[in-house]
Amino acid sequence: IVQMCWSRFTLFWLPLGRIPSFLRGSLLRLGPGLFEVGSEPFLHLFDGQAMIHKFDFNNGQVTYLRKFVKTDAYVRAMVEKRVVITEFGTIAYPDPCKNIFSRFFSYFKGVEITDNCLVNVYPIGEDFYAVTETNYMTKVNVDTLETLKKVDMCDYVNINGVTAHPHIEPDGTVYNIGNCMGKGASLAYNIVRIPPTQKDKSDPIEKSRVVVQFPSAERFKPSYVHSFGMTENHFVFVETPVKINLLKFLGAWSVRGTNYMDCFESDEEKGTWLHLAKKDPGEYIDLKFRTSSMGLFHHINCYEDQGFVVVDLCAWKGYEFVYNYLWLANLRADWEEVKKNALIAPQPEVRRYVLPLDPYKEEQGKNLVSLPYTTATAVMGADDTIWLEPEVLFSGPRQAFEFPQINYKKNNGKNYTYAYALGLNNFIPDRICKLNVKTKETWVWQEPESYPSEPIFVQTPDGVDEDDGVLLTVVVAPSAVRPTYMLILNAKDLSEIARAEVDIITPVTFHGMYKP
């Protein structure tokens, strides 16, 4: 499923089964589509050049279109036939054909940040943007998949980069988070608000503003942030022990040849801090919530209940950075070697943490959590630090419940019951999962030698129940006659409704959305 893919075309897909009539829209997916340029390979899963995919549903038929996103990283690589901009795990070196003086001066041009937007796509106002985790976003035409323009968020707000997992309110307001330079020349994390579509048709990004700031546990080492939580009234930020050494990033990048992965470091003693802030008006809540070291990429959902904030996460035990195990050489190894690597990697589990908004109503040393349906605990110590222990909602050896999705429009930030996810077996995606977070009941769709993508939930128009809808996932089956198919599952029980097959293999995708 990790391969080079150059094709740009529209393809008609033959459906097997009946495509639900209410599916009249587009599934948009982002991921890497090119893993080598000339004779130079990209080395990490997050280095491949961005490709956007679109699956159109109309009158019971499915059509497919894909194109590379024409970022600066991609265009320059195509022109010079080499890796020009350093990616997550691949270093770009100066052109060896240039003379020694031009190479010397190129060392002092500063850090050239990649705009390879291969992680996600989401709407801002009436526009759509392909994104990664740097300060750059790329505006795309979701009808034609043409690249329109590059946007630098640093032009509008104090931010070094933003995540690829914003939260979007029903009116179109977008919230996101990223690290920044805060007060006293120390690092912090800003929540940025981008307003919805403007009446005067002006660009909402131009009206972006910071609504609240979280402090950093370390002055020059921000935590890696992939997502954050949002309830109806609060923001939730989890500060893990996976840190970015900014001094190394800024000082050693050009001179020695350093990639992003070289700048990460982890320390088990740092533990994990959970932070809360009020949403409107934005105000940091100065409570010290702490738990054991863990890695985190994806929040499932957060909500408020009876004076508590419930936080459900896809956690990885320990302090080691999981991306250390996503080098392409590891993923392309034979199955026994893949399992051997996964055996020593951090182990995944779905966790529920409960944060009391009023921790002083009970004396020190007692469990502050009084919600009857969870075993998660919160205990205040003598230094006013509140130690959190989670309830485990799902756990299996080397079996991850990842890339989670919920009925977002109906339940984001609210008490909910169901989560859907991509099941990873030793880091290899081989199933679709559904979890009842209240009863811990699970459902699984799985077929031999089939590798699905993140499932996207689409609600039935007249649906009443939270899980009235379908899941859309793109499955790669390399040994099949038609090695790729769009799979539509009933969200109730993960039974198959229909599939649309195609004669080519599509490259792996990370995240995406359904556009009605």
H or E segment at 104? helix 100-106
Element (H, E) at 77: helix 72-80
- Would you say 44 is a known binding-site residue? no
Structure tokens at 231: 């309830």
Six-digit token pair at 489? 């599952």
Do residues 228 and 237 make contact, with C-beta atoms less than 8 angstroms apart? yes
Q: Determine the Cα–Cα distance for residues 82 and 80; give it in Å rounded to an integer.
A: 6
Which two tokens mark 129?
């943007």
Tabulate helix, strand, coil % of the chain (nearest 5).
15, 45, 45
Burial (Cβ within 10 Å: 0-12, 13-18, ≥19) of residue 387 = middle
As beta bridge partners, residue 102 has none
Long-range (24+ apart) CB contacts under 8 A made by 323-328 are: 323/44, 323/46, 323/88, 323/261, 323/264, 324/261, 325/427, 326/44, 326/45, 326/46, 326/427, 327/43, 327/44, 327/45, 327/89, 328/2, 328/35, 328/41, 328/42, 328/43, 328/44, 328/45
- Calpha distance 447→483 (Å, rounded): 13
Output phi, psi for 168, to 5 deg.
-125, 125
Distance CA 424, CA 401 (A): 7
Contact assessment for residue 207 and residue 251, using Cβ atoms and an 8 Å cutoff: no
> For residue 55, what are its two tokens?
């699956």
Q: Are 412 and 462 in contact (CB under 8 A)?
A: no
Consult the annotation and say whether 511 binds a ligand: yes
Residue 299 annotated as lining a ligand binding site: no
Is 234 annotated as a binding-site member? no
Sheet holding 229-230, edge to edge: 229-230, 234-239, 272-278, 283-291, 385-389, 377-380
In this structure, how many other beta carbons lie within 10 angstroms of the beta carbon of residue 100?
A: 7
Known binding residues for Fe cation = 165, 226, 298, 511
**Residues of each annotated binding site:** 165, 226, 298, 511
